[in-house]
Amino acid sequence: MRIYGNRQLKTVAGQRTRPTSARVREALFNIWRDRISGSSWLDLCAGNGSMGAEALCRGASRVVGIEQYAKACKVIEQNWEQVAQPEQSYQILKGDVLVKIKSLEGQEFDWIYFDPPYDSYLYLPILKAIASLKLITTEGAIAVEHNPQLWQAKAVPGLEIYRTKTYGNTTLSFYALE
């Protein structure tokens, strides 16, 4: 897998993770492009860490990821170490996203990327946690990757849906603070 600047990333073998397609990744970074540099990024259900790596390559000052699969966490660590500059920080938290997200209380992120397994029950609980823990800055946004046949973006107290874009079988639904 290649990301911004033609950098090659390691991937996790097997079907346990589903990397975000290059088309969707490029679309998202085109939408948020001028606001990544110097920002803080949260990557939920991080997979192989391609979205966090892309954010680092585009100048994010801080990237935090949560991933449950131990082998994926090792790959993410290697990928982020490879692309991060000395002035950038990154951290990967291993464990259940519903549990680990609570450890971020008191922190704020400009950009949150959430890409759970498409058939997951995690969408609403995580969006509610982001809102209640106040993890998003007032100028920030959340991008939720999903299959529109399996989950539809829904209103969440404290968050509003402000944009939805579909790319083949993948939809990005964007949330911001109300």
Question: Looking at the domain assignment, is residue 65 inside a domain?
Answer: yes
Question: Looking at the domain assignment, is residue 14 inside a domain?
Answer: no
Number of domains in the chain: 1
Q: Report the C-alpha gap between 12 and 161 in whole angstroms.
A: 32
Question: Looking at the domain assignment, is residue 72 inside a domain?
Answer: yes
Over the chain (178 residues), the average pLDDT of each successive run of 10 is 54 63 91 95 94 95 96 92 95 98 98 95 97 97 96 95 95 97
| pLDDT score for 14 | 53
Q: Is the pTM of this model over 0.85?
A: yes
Q: What residues form DSSP beta bridges with 177?
A: 159
Nearest CA to 9 out of 40, 50, 43 is that of 50
| pLDDT score for 15 | 53
Question: Looking at the domain assignment, is residue 148 inside a domain?
Answer: yes
Nearest CA to 91 out of 43, 131, 58 is that of 43
Question: Looking at the domain assignment, is residue 54 inside a domain?
Answer: yes
Boundaries of domain holding 66: 2-9+20-177
CATH assignment of the domain containing 157: 3.40.50.150
Question: Looking at the domain assignment, is residue 63 inside a domain?
Answer: yes
Q: Report the C-alpha gap between 116 and 107 in whole angstroms.
A: 21
Residues shown for the chain: 178
| pLDDT score for 7 | 59
| pLDDT score for 6 | 47
Question: Looking at the domain assignment, is residue 45 inside a domain?
Answer: yes
Per the CB < 8 A criterion, the answer to whether 83 and 56 are in contact is yes
Question: Looking at the domain assignment, is residue 15 inside a domain?
Answer: no
